[in-house]
């Protein structure tokens, strides 16, 4: 402001010229300050880690939740009293929906940690990750399933090729109008394609919420229910981080999410790349436990998508 005072005392300048220069300096300083504040806000927001409360609510047993670092990390627990669960504030139609999980350690037999997308309607569309606990030292089994228009029965199971209790790993569904790819750390483990041309319904018009829970599934989860939960290891804890959501928010109609303009709609995401096909083949050849498409006792003939699906 001292500089402005000097300007006003300069000799040889008319009063009009001084006023014009003063206004120009004020406008210039205002723009500089505005840009500086905008950059600061942008940098602050871009560096901020998404917290639980930004996109999720507790839906079940809040006393079995533990928030760390202001909700940047969340633990949910199962004991004899209760399990726990949470769900997203919004519903989504298409996107790359992901979460980072660290699963129950030690003897987790009988426990189920579920992470899934569901419309929660009578004719629900749903994509499931279900982590089936096991006795200590045994590999975790990951079961996936797909429901469309309320019809499921499309289970696939694989062994995870790493210890999912030692660190966080990313589990995601890249879902668009052409396919839904189940990924583990960006490795495709399953793809459900849009096969409406074969008469197979596809999930493209119902918004889905994002949910997760931990619960007692020892009637079926481990060796068909032969191994029960050992409660001496409780509470059983699953940990979560990465609460940002990269998806199209569903507002009641599908129109705004069917524009084809989002990044996940572009050509390179409409089919699997050669690298993705190679990784998917590696998973299926080395880690498959069960695939409904090869369960000929259950489905004879196989469901229509099994002839063209991967």
Name the residues annotated as catalytic: 126, 130
Nearest to 127 by CA among 242, 246, 196, 210: 210
Tokens, residue 50: 């998404």
- 62 near 82, Cβ under 8 Å? no
Measured in whole angstroms, the distance separating CA 23 from the mean position of its chain's CA atoms is 51
Burial of 238: CB neighbours in 10 Å, binned 0-12, 13-18, 19+: buried
Instruction: Return the beta strands (E) in the chain as ranges.
Output: 56-60, 65-68, 73-78, 84-88, 92-102, 111-118, 126-132, 141-147, 156-159, 169-175, 179-184, 187-193, 209-216, 236-241, 246-249, 288-291
Contact present, 115 and 129 (Cβ < 8 Å):
yes
Residues 6+ apart with CB under 8 A from 163: none
Number of separate helices (H) and strands (E) present in the chain: 4, 16
């Amino acid at each position: 402001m001292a500089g402005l005072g000097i300007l006003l005392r300069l000799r040889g300048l008319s009063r009009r010229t001084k006023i014009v220069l003063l206004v120009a300096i004020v406008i210039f300083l205002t723009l500089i300050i505005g840009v500086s504040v905008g950059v600061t806000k942008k940098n602050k927001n871009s560096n901020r880690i998404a917290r639980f409360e930004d996109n999720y609510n507790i839906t079940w047993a809040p006393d079995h939740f533990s928030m760390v670092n202001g909700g940047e990390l969340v633990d949910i627990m199962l004991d004899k009293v209760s399990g726990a669960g949470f769900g997203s504030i919004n519903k989504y139609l298409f996107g790359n929906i992901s979460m980072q999980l660290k699963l129950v350690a030690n003897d987790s037999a009988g426990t189920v940690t579920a992470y899934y997308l569901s419309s929660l309607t009578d004719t629900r569309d749903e994509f499931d990750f279900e982590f089936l606990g096991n006795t200590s030292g045994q590999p975790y089994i990951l079961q996936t399933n797909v429901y469309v228009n309320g019809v499921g029965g499309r289970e696939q199971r694989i062994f995870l090729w790493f210890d999912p209790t030692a660190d966080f790993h990313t589990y995601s569904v890249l879902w668009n109008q052409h396919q839904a790819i189940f990924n583990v750390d960006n490795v495709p483990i399953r793809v459900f394609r849009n096969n409406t041309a074969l008469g197979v319904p596809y999930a493209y018009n119902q918004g889905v919420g994002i949910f997760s829970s931990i619960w007692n599934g020892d009637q079926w989860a481990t060796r068909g229910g032969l191994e029960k939960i050992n409660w001496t290891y409780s509470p059983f804890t699953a940990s979560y981080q990465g609460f940002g959501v990269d998806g199209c928010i569903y507002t009641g109609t599908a129109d705004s999410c069917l524009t084809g303009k989002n990044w996940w709609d572009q050509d390179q995401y409409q089919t699997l790349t050669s690298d993705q096909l190679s990784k998917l083949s590696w998973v299926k050849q080395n880690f498959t436990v069960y695939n409904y498409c090869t369960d000929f006792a259950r489905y004879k003939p196989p469901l229509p998508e099994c002839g063209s699906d991967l």
